[in-house]
Amino acid sequence: MSDLFDNDLFGGESAADPGQPADPGPAPAAPAAPDPAAPLAERMRPRRLEAVVGQDHLVGPDAALRRAIEGGQTPSMILWGPPGCGKTTLARLVAEAGAQRLVTLSAVLAGVKDVRAVVDAAKTRRRNGVGTLLFIDEIHRFNKGQQDALLPHIEDGTLTFVGATTENPSFALNSALLSRARVYRMEAVDEAAIEALITRALEDPEHGLGGRGLRLGDDERRRLARAADGDARRALNWLETASDLASDGMITDEALRAVMGVQSLAFDRQGDAFYDQISALHKSVRGSDPDGALYWLVRMLDAGCDPDYLGRRLLRMAYEDIGLGATGLAQRVLVAWQTMERLGRPEGDLALVQAAVELAAAPKSNSTYAALGAVRKTIAETGSPEVPLHLRNAPTELMRAEGFGAGYRYDHDEPDGIARGQTYLPETLLERRFYAPRHEGTEATLAQRLERLRGASVPQEGGGDG
């Protein structure tokens, strides 16, 4: 495998002008030295699998993907992971390992016309014995028609396809495309790996910042790696900018703070991080962990999540997971949400925080949530049984003559306000129980009452209409 790495270094083609047909060109050329004017993150891209950091599960010594790459049997694949984890780098290494012509498109800029141009050029190369690897960044931005345009060319081997996405492929990509490509999950680069990458960049005289006598303290190195939040590219961009502010070769804490500014937490209003963090908040509340609930709520608030959305989600939790275990709590959550709407941030943060803590600490019951699901399941299975005659409305003589309402007993006329033995479900469903109360919190009182009523319920002859 070559020792250098860049899109154009292997005869790759970019999508700088995606409307122009791709030139078939000769077989991949020998790699050249990286452009010294390129950003540090580009110059420091790994040029061999051993240099890839943070993805040992994919490219470690015994990983299946690495064996496939080194064996030249590269499948079409989807690389799914957060920004800065090395998706583009891995795609380039795959192309180089297979001696394929690399063509890069951005799904933000390209369309079906550009894919067709790449395919036409790939067919010409194929006749000359040269393969083509088409790398599409942000593939989730292609619509269904654009994704479908790739399918026949993946199937017939015209292209090896590699797509990169930060979104969950299960939701962002067509099932037809997923069935023709393997999905590989890439992880955010951990702090230790980013620290090692920073050290490598400071010491590498050919591709990095070595030779300039730059120094970075251990504390500052750790702070930089931590603030990068799993994004190796971000760390190198900050390092390069901070190096220009070095005083006598020392990259100071003040220089780092100047270039990093306010840390941007991993959060995307429509992406996986959004739904993962909402899931963590909801599960912390359900698991009665106020510390977890606080952490995820405040993290989302400070990362820019809409407080109105968080208020709605907390109110949903009040009904789904606390329910009758703490009656009245949903009303207090609603008031907290309304308080946030009136006060705004940051004054209103405390209202949502208080609601989240109380939700997490409260007795839990999902009995009504479970009952809703059970009823809907039964309705789907049994269709529309008729309303029993004694429960039907009987406003006319004709309806009463047909037996509508016959035998119904008016509960308030009964000695203890309950028409014991009277049934309220279709006859085919009389044995069904949808609501199973929990003996927890305020619901325990309801459970005890229902047990008394159900235990004493024996069929009795009905009276007249009510």
CATH of the domain at 241: 1.10.8.60
Distances from the Cα of 459 to the Cαs of 409, 451, 454, in angstroms? 12, 16, 11
Q: Is the pLDDT of residue 458 over 50?
A: no
Count of the separate structural domains present in the chain: 4
Whole-angstrom distance, CA of residue 94 vs CA of residue 161? 11
357 CB-near residues (< 8 Å, 6+ apart): 290, 293, 294
- Same domain assignment for residues 15 and 131: yes
Q: pTM of this prediction? A: 0.59
- Same domain assignment for residues 325 and 341: yes
Boundary (domain end) residue, out of 331, 361, 391: 361
Summarised one tens digit per residue, pLDDT across range 214-228 is 999 998 898 888 888
- Same domain assignment for residues 29 and 173: yes
Give the relative orientation of helices 272-286 and 349-361 as an angle to the nearest 10 degrees. 50
Q: What are the beta bridge partners of residue 102? A: 133
- Same domain assignment for residues 179 and 311: no
Whole-angstrom distance, CA of residue 8 vs CA of residue 32? 9
Q: Residue 225 falls within a domain, yes or no?
A: yes
pLDDT of residue 460: 41
139 CB-near residues (< 8 Å, 6+ apart): 78, 107, 147, 163, 164, 165, 172, 173
- Same domain assignment for residues 249 and 278: no
Tokens of 299: 């993290």
pLDDT of residue 464: 41
- Same domain assignment for residues 31 and 169: yes
Q: Residue 115 falls within a domain, yes or no?
A: yes
Please name which of 180, 19, 24, 166 lies closest in space to residue 105, comparing C-alpha atoms: 19
Tokens 């939790």 — which residue? 317
Q: Is the pLDDT of residue 22 over 60?
A: no
Count each helix (H run) and each strand (E run) in the chain, helices first: 21, 7
pLDDT of residue 324: 93
Q: What is the domain range of residue 353? A: 272-361
Q: Residue 265 falls within a domain, yes or no?
A: no
Summarised one tens digit per residue, pLDDT across range 29-40 is 444 556 777 899
pLDDT confidence of 263, banded at 50, 70, 90? low
pLDDT of residue 15: 43
pLDDT of residue 52: 86
Q: Residue 374 falls within a domain, yes or no?
A: no
Whole-angstrom distance, CA of residue 245 vs CA of residue 255? 6
What is the three-class DSSP state of 205?
coil
Boundary (domain end) residue, out of 260, 287, 316: 260
Interval 107-123 mean pLDDT: 91
Whole-angstrom distance, CA of residue 312 vs CA of residue 250? 49
Interval 43-62 mean pLDDT: 86
Whole-angstrom distance, CA of residue 397 vs CA of residue 361? 56
119 CB-near residues (< 8 Å, 6+ apart): 153, 158, 159
- Using alpha carbons only, give the angle 247, 252, 257 rounded to the nearest 5 degrees: 125
- Same domain assignment for residues 83 and 167: yes
Interval 182-209 mean pLDDT: 91
Tokens of 64: 């299946």
- Same domain assignment for residues 145 and 105: yes
| Per-position b or e across 134-171, b if 16+ CB within 10 A of its CB | bbbbbbbbbeeebbebbeebbeeebbbbbbbbbbbbee
**What are φ and ψ of residue 132, in 5° steps?**
-130, 130
- Same domain assignment for residues 213 and 251: yes
Does residue 39 have a cis peptide bond before it, meaning omega lies within 30 degrees of 0?
no
Q: Is the pLDDT of residue 456 over 70?
A: no
Summarised one tens digit per residue, pLDDT across range 383-442 is 889 999 998 988 888 888 888 889 999 989 988 888 888 889 999 998 899 998 988 898
pLDDT confidence of 28, banded at 50, 70, 90? very low
Q: Residue 266 falls within a domain, yes or no?
A: no
**Residue 353's CATH number:** 1.20.272.10
Whole-angstrom distance, CA of residue 457 vs CA of residue 431? 13
- Same domain assignment for residues 215 and 330: no
What is the three-class DSSP state of 106?
strand
- The string of DSSP letters for 314-358 reads HHHHIIIIIGGGGTTHHHHHHHHHHHHHHH-TTTTHHHHHHHHHH
Boundary (domain end) residue, out of 206, 240, 260: 260
